């Protein structure tokens, strides 16, 4: 006990450092091993409206029935709904863009106001050089914005 009284300042500094080291270890542990009760996406999906599979199937069927598309697939990533549409080679860009109306007309306003929507049009045959065509609808937008004929490495370098 006499040693502690004689080295009182060093002992206090040592105890404080030990406590800080333990707190730092605990913080690093929590950073690498977060609690499993929380969602990976945080609270972004709280109050998210449920997307009914029947509605998605209806959208897919209407797009196929339009006789412009060969195949339609769908996926959801966090707050983005993605539709992948393979169009026929003779489909014009304006006709393909009209397919976006099928998507918007079949989704509820709750879903449209919560999710961003992306539509990817491709011509699997490669005959139509106007494709790929990408449409993006932000949850705050009134209509789709479009980008066409995007290719890998197309960064306008000259």
Q: How confident is the model at residue 25 (pLDDT cuts 50, 70, 90)?
A: very high
26 and 91 share a domain? Answer: no
Which of 148, 128, 146, 127 minimizes the C-alpha distance to 137? 146
144 and 98 share a domain? Answer: yes
Q: What is the pLDDT of residue 54?
A: 92
Number of domains in the chain: 2
Instruction: Say if 14 falls within a structural domain.
Output: yes
Instruction: Say if 133 falls within a structural domain.
Output: yes
Instruction: Say if 43 falls within a structural domain.
Output: no
Instruction: Say if 62 falls within a structural domain.
Output: yes
Q: Quick check: 93 pLDDT over 80? A: yes
For 86-95, what is the mean pLDDT?
88
Q: 67 in helix, strand or coil?
A: coil
106 and 137 share a domain? Answer: yes
96 and 134 share a domain? Answer: yes
Q: Which of the pair, 113 or 46, is modelled with greater confidence?
A: 113
**One-letter-per-residue 3-state SS of 117-136:** EEEEEECCCCCCCCCCEEEE
> Whole domain around residue 136: which residue ranges?
53-148
Express each pLDDT in 104-158 by its tens digit: 889 888 988 899 999 999 988 888 787 888 999 998 888 888 887 655 555 544 4
């Amino acid at each position: 006990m006499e040693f502690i009284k004689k080295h009182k300042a060093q002992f206090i500094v040592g105890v404080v450092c030990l406590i800080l080291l333990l707190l730092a270890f605990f913080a690093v542990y929590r950073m690498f091993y977060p609690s499993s009760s929380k969602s990976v996406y945080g609270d972004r999906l709280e109050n998210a409206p449920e997307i009914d599979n029947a509605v998605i199937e209806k959208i897919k069927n209407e797009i196929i029935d339009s006789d412009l598309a060969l195949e339609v697939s769908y996926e959801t990533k966090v707050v983005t709904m993605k539709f992948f549409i393979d169009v026929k080679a003779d489909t014009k860009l304006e006709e393909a863009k009209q397919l976006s109306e099928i998507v918007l007309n079949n989704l509820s306003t709750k879903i449209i106001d919560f999710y961003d929507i992306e539509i990817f049009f491709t011509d699997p045959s490669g005959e139509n050089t106007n494709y790929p065509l990408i449409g993006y609808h932000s949850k705050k937008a009134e209509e789709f914005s479009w980008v066409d004929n995007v290719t890998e490495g197309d960064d306008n370098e000259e």
